Amino acid sequence: MQGGIGDWITRRAHRRPHAPALIDGDSGRTVSYVDLERDVAAMAASLHELGVRRGDRIAILMENSIDFVYVLFGAANLGAIVVPINFRLSGREVRHILADSGALVLAVSDRFRDLATDALAQGEHGVRRILVETDGAAIGDHPVSTLGELLTAEARRGPDPLIRAEDTCVIMYTSGTTGTPKGAMLTHGNMQWNAFNMATVGSGLSSSTATIAVAPMFHIGALGLSVLPILYAGGTVITVRAFDPHRTLELMQRYRTTTQFMVPAMWAALSKVPDFDSYDVSTMQYVLCGGAPCPLPVIEFYQQRGWMFLEGFGMTEASPNTLLLDEESVVSHAGSVGRPFMHVDVRIVDNEDHDVAVGEVGELVLRGPNIFAGYWGRPVETAEATRGGWFHTGDLGRADAEGFITLVDRKKDMIISGGENVYPIEVEQVLYRHPAVSEVAVIGVPDEKWGETVVAVVVLGDGNNDIDEAGLIDYTRSRIAHFKCPRRVVFVDELPYTATGKLLKRTLRERFTGVGATVHR
């Protein structure tokens, strides 16, 4: 593979130059493949003039947009690396990612100028240049260029670098058990094989495939399950800056979309549109749900309308395709996360990395050309996660005789709320800084709308009875992203521990949910 993912656009421009590649769902602006090739080349040339070279990092703090795609592929053409950033994070959290990745350039949507200003003021980082949409005013003391200027500049650069399959093209940050986000390095080859995997789903992908990029593109879900595979196939991606159920149905009807990825909370909201059946969405061939288990009533709603509804289990480190629950099994095997994608190997292993028997619980481990190259700047953690040539997910599960995998717990106790990953220890660390908190355990509890919500179980220190639930929630909301913060705080006299001092979170989950496992349907 030479040229990396940027070569996809060049080849598509030669095969079907005037086919629509991107459509702005808000304005209706359409970009053909030949236009996309031209604009991406201009972006790459302008980035090169700004000093961006192979291996340099360009952070993206942007809503879903055509400009997001320009920056992504412009960087790819140079052999540079993009670092998409969750715009729901706090300024301090954004600054950590900028510093950890060593990003030289930050691309910012106009909406997030204040967040970028806050992040850049939080401490040391390496950002030297800011790219914005329309407002060319400086952000702090950093020089600013507008994306429009970069697309129209008569910039030139040297010969295109040889992009290899093993070269990193994206660093996606994902939280870990320490509470400190770490960057998963995804290569051009990872993205290529992930596209191959997506081509085997449902009715497949082709130049007639059309989708709405409604899930945020800073997530591997939107990027890896819709945007990149569909552009590889020569289809059409409609971008929208925010999810609105009515608007989504309107766009599905207008652009005759054929496939769609969303998280369960989005699918549930879409199903509640009162006049759903008045929209002509008959061109939809299959839809995919991921990020958390989808409630069966939601699945049945779409199946009753003739939609092929599929569920998948993915991970940032897998680009993200790992397991798929197909249409024939989505109800009969409810609770399972399916079987491996075409080009993914799966095992369930014990603590010594030996295979366990069918039906026994062990750790889910993965192997395949879509598995990441490691964690940015963390060789020790990379070696531990990929020991023996297999990626150790930290998820506990079991396989039945037909090969269906069911997850029963998470080693990392991760909570998935509205498609967002929340790691309890990160929230606990914040709460422990409150002077009134003596002990705390954070768990996820089932929620009809969000899949899971965050609950903090707190033991107050002696004499600290003035703080209440609202006060602790406000305390966390001022320090971390709001989606990570507890929606409930429960005060208890003591937390349950084993004789060796290990906190029994399963006991807490059983007490507050009636179920000890962390994965719910």
> What's this model's pTM, rounded to 2 decimal places?
0.84
Residue predicted with more confidence, 62 or 263: 62
Pick from 315, 331, 344, 333: which is nearest to 201 by CA? 344
Mean pLDDT of 361-383: 96
Indicate the helix (H) or strand (E) that contains 188: helix 188-199
Name residue 165's amino acid. A
Of residues 142 and 429, more confidence is placed in 142
Q: Is 507 a residue whose pLDDT tops 60? A: yes
Count CB-CB contacts under 10 A for residue 297.
10
Q: Which residues does 70 contact at the CB level (< 8 Å), separation at least 6?
A: 39, 40, 43, 147, 151
Strands in 466-509 per DSSP E: 488-491
Phi then psi for residue 396, to 5 deg, are -100, 135
Alpha-carbon Rg of the chain, whole angstroms?
23
SS3 402: coil
Kindly tell me if the per-residue pLDDT of 2 is higher than 90.
Answer: no
- pLDDT tens across 251-279, in order? 999 999 999 999 888 998 999 999 999 99
DSSP string of 367-391, one letter each residue: ESTTS---BTT-HHHHHHHTGGGSE
Distances (CA, A) of 416 to 37, 171, 251, 518: 37, 21, 28, 9
Can you say whether residue 116 is alpha, beta or left, with left for phi > 0 and alpha for psi between -120 and 50 degrees?
alpha
Per DSSP (E only), the strands in 247-379 are: 259-262, 286-289, 308-314, 321-325, 339-340, 345-349, 362-367
Say what the pLDDT of residue 520 is.
43
Token pair belonging to 119? 């992040």
Q: Are 359 and 381 in contact (CB under 8 A)?
A: no
Lookup: tokens for 465:
């009875």
Give the CATH superfamily of 415-513: ANL, C-terminal domain (3.30.300.30)
Average pLDDT score over residue span 153-165? 74
Type of residue at 258: T
Checking if the pLDDT of 521 tops 60, the result is no
pLDDT, tens digit, for every residue of 36-61? 999 999 999 999 999 999 999 999 99
Q: What are the extents of the domains in the chain?
A: 6-251, 415-513
Residue with tokens 């660093």: 171
Residue 435 confidence (pLDDT): 86
Percent of the chain with pLDDT over 70: 94
Total residue length of the chain: 521
Q: Name the β-bridge partners of 303.
A: none
Fold for the domain defined by 6-251: Rossmann fold (3.40.50)
Cα three-residue angle 180-189-197, rounded to 5 degrees:
95
